[in-house]
Structure 1
């Protein structure tokens, strides 16, 4: 165990990455420990404290999934049931796929839906209804149930399902079933609720090192189930403790039965060469660190990054919230890894890539894309380089400037398989992924952070 204290490490790492504001919390040995540094905004600075609100991004999915599981426990929803049982209006370009996608397929990202639907459906109570209507124009990127492909769209669809089953707006359902009974008094969806409290804004760092405010502060209401909550490190510690508990509130009220919470942490689909984990449960990503199972979810908003990791068998949780990109990602990783080693003696190390192989490099070099981004691979000397960029047409259509693209990064193939890789430099350092092949063995896709990029044929092909 390191001799440096956790609080000292957080402060040192905060200064190293020069992030405007961070909030970090740990639940260990039956005690809460938190460390907050910096300010909410470089333009309008207020000190970060335990109750400062950060945009959680995809950690919101754990709340959406738990709300859905609450309805399952009440007998109002069945995991194996088709989505259309609860959402008859759901349509895709492929009618058979729309008919067969189940609730479980949405929870564990095996629906074949793409990452997201690039649409702003406003801030009205019909935002999710309108979002789902736009899905009638969507193709699947993989056959139903064939693989895990991380999908914001799938969770937004779950949000609309929750509305249909409960008869109230999605945000109201989450508040009634989770926020209120669990005492999460610093967790909100609505901007009107957030702006009257102390909240962090995101920042982007330009190439000259200057930080500027990231706008917009968050996406539209149609994305709320997949990433719309703003919360504090204090509330997330309480949220983590609930998922480590027997399903009762601190006052003894049973919100969910113990076995229901445990079911969320059981694997439902395997992941391959993914930084997200080794498997996925009901929303939670499952990963073994030093032989011990961890359960977690990360999140990214515009210039804000969050990480929540639980170790159930050790009754341990760590949360890290930051308000700057790109440095928020490596900051969170450093905090989580230090906390695991400092408190539990668990060491989380990156795999080492194999030496450069020119033949394999030629096989994977090229451009890949999904609806939002491109993923380009080329060789630089005796090494591999990748660049992930938001598509120009997406930038042009955005009302506000999207965050800067990551700097091109080095990566290498991992031993044992020519199809798995690890990024070895830059803000995405440590991220893992893999290449997919067609039946003839040709590389046709690449995965990063659970997202599939399909190969773009050359003009001559």
Structure 2
């Protein structure tokens, strides 16, 4: 099965993708629904029935999307539900359970943010201080941005420089410092604080600040300040730390069947703050309980003030889209609106053959986490985390409406043309992704090409291509379309310059410059 998410470069390994891991390629329901008139609380029997319905939905998705193994955890109506489905490995099948470990991808960023908030609570870090207070030599390509960018802007993804930098600087304890030193090549796309664009490189800088302030490696600091106090015994950064665990192997999807991929084991240490954590659904649910709680660990020790927990999901930066529509980001958490004006606190992640979702509704004391061991997990996470089925069923809230519209040729014309973004690979080479759009039948239709060599002419020697499109539901905002024009259930948007002209496409949280 071929999808836009695993064909073209910006999602080659999910690139530590965020809110919902990867683009769906099958026809899924659009993120459109009406405000619910149902009560905001549910009975114990109703929640139990909901768990049965969730089982059926997951099992159906596993068959449809070629997912060998899934683990789910839910907190709803005062009940906790943890369950494993299927097997860890199609070649050596072992049942998945609540302690089976998967890569959680970019949900790792919230662990980086939570650890940093412990240092904020201890008055060792100021979120609104410039990064150079902690890293005096910090520099990207733009001198003014280098001097002005703040710690908060790293965490709410508004630092403004090119963010998809996956360079590998080896396994040594200097991996993060070498990575940050290399960032002087990263071009500035937008001014700091002005525009949301998902930024993996910014989280590496946040991880490096943790190292400098604590005087330890990033991984040791997170272990000591967060993982150990929360008793997350199945959550680790390195593969040699999970010996003896039940491990969910990564799987690709070939001819609609799962095939084992060794991608689980490959991860650059220099990118650990952005997405390398290995965890179980039981640990993820315990982590959710902490964030829904009062800031104390299971043994009663205070880790964060209640004020700090609330601050992580408050004061959002610039908004936009990352598969879902975002009010903005707080401290490493995506803050997503609902039709009922209740905030959804969300993340999720992707790495090769590992796709996950995680969200909470603090006002409803609801949380859900899902871990999968297949590229096909992108579709299941879209079903459960972009569409609002789980939110409606367990938290009684719905997505903001998004009714697809048919636009005139004149209305589509401002969005037509070429859009380009770049990314830096693990080897340090620069790759370019090009999207071409045209208006047709009231919607935008286009192709995406991944060019390994940016000097290559866009019409020649393209590695791969994929078809995509948008059905607008309000000005500048659209529902993603698949190759056959079907609604995928995810959202993207366009960004205008100060003069009101369309300047950028934001897709999967990344900015593509209009040329």
Look up the match of 2:477.
Answer: 420
Equivalent residues in 2 for 1:449-460, closer than 5 Å: 449-455=508-514, 457=515
Equivalent residues in 2 for 1:378-389, closer than 5 Å: 378-379=437-438, 382=441, 383-389=443-449
- Aligned-partner SS, 1:429: strand
| Gap change, CA 1:387 and 1:194, over 3 Å in 2 | farther
Which whole-Å deviations, capped at 9, do the CAs of 1:352-382 have from their partners, x for residues lacking one? 2211432343432333222235242334852
> What is the distance in 2 between the residues matched to 1:57 and 1:173?
19
Stretch deviating more after TM superposition (29-38 or 310-319) = 29-38
> What is the distance in 2 between the residues matched to 1:437 and 1:96?
22
Equivalent residues in 2 for 1:31-70, closer than 5 Å: 31-70=79-118
Look up the match of 1:302.
Answer: 352
> What is the distance in 2 between the residues matched to 1:178 and 1:357?
53
* Cα displacement (A) at 1:7: 2.6
> What is the distance in 2 between the residues matched to 1:328 and 1:267?
31
> What is the distance in 2 between the residues matched to 1:210 and 1:11?
15
> What is the distance in 2 between the residues matched to 1:425 and 1:116?
24
Question: Does residue 14 of structure 1 match 2:62?
Answer: yes
Look up the match of 2:415.
Answer: 364
8 A contact 2:313–2:345 mirrored in 1: yes
Look up the match of 1:282.
Answer: 331
Look up the match of 1:429.
Answer: 488
* Cα displacement (A) at 1:87: 1.1
Which whole-Å deviations, capped at 9, do the CAs of 1:128-181 have from their partners, x for residues lacking one? 011011101112111111111110000001111110110110000000000101
- Aligned-partner SS, 2:273: helix
Equivalent residues in 2 for 1:18-33, closer than 5 Å: 18-33=66-81
Stretch deviating more after TM superposition (181-190 or 39-48) = 39-48
* Cα displacement (A) at 1:441: 4.5
Question: Does residue 317 of structure 1 match 2:367?
Answer: yes
* Cα displacement (A) at 1:265: 1.1
- Aligned-partner SS, 1:5: helix
Look up the match of 1:391.
Answer: 451
| Gap change, CA 1:444 and 1:343, over 3 Å in 2 | closer
Which of the residues 149, 168, 171 maps onto 2:216? 168
RMSD between aligned residues: 2.5
Look up the match of 1:401.
Answer: none
8 A contact 2:66–2:374 mirrored in 1: no
Look up the match of 2:503.
Answer: 444
| Gap change, CA 1:9 and 1:440, over 3 Å in 2 | closer
Question: Does residue 74 of structure 1 match 2:119?
Answer: no
> What is the distance in 2 between the residues matched to 1:284 and 1:167?
26
Which whole-Å deviations, capped at 9, do the CAs of 1:215-236 have from their partners, x for residues lacking one? 5334300000011101010000
Look up the match of 2:158.
Answer: 110
- Aligned-partner SS, 2:129: coil
* Cα displacement (A) at 1:248: 0.9
Look up the match of 2:22.
Answer: none
Gaps of 5+ in 1: 397-403
| Gap change, CA 1:273 and 1:301, over 3 Å in 2 | closer
Look up the match of 1:399.
Answer: none
> What is the distance in 1 between the residues matched to 2:182 and 2:487?
32
* Cα displacement (A) at 1:407: 4.6
- Aligned-partner SS, 1:63: helix
Look up the match of 1:332.
Answer: 381
TM-score, L = length of structure 2: 0.80
Gaps of 5+ in 2: 1-45, 424-431, 457-462
TM-score, L = length of structure 1: 0.89
Stretch deviating more after TM superposition (6-15 or 51-60) = 6-15
* Cα displacement (A) at 1:119: 1.5
Look up the match of 1:400.
Answer: none
* Cα displacement (A) at 1:64: 0.1
> What is the distance in 2 between the residues matched to 1:259 and 1:151?
26
> What is the distance in 2 between the residues matched to 1:107 and 1:347?
27
> What is the distance in 2 between the residues matched to 1:312 and 1:444?
36
- Aligned-partner SS, 1:72: helix
Q: How many residues align?
A: 444
8 A contact 2:66–2:258 mirrored in 1: no
Look up the match of 2:194.
Answer: 146
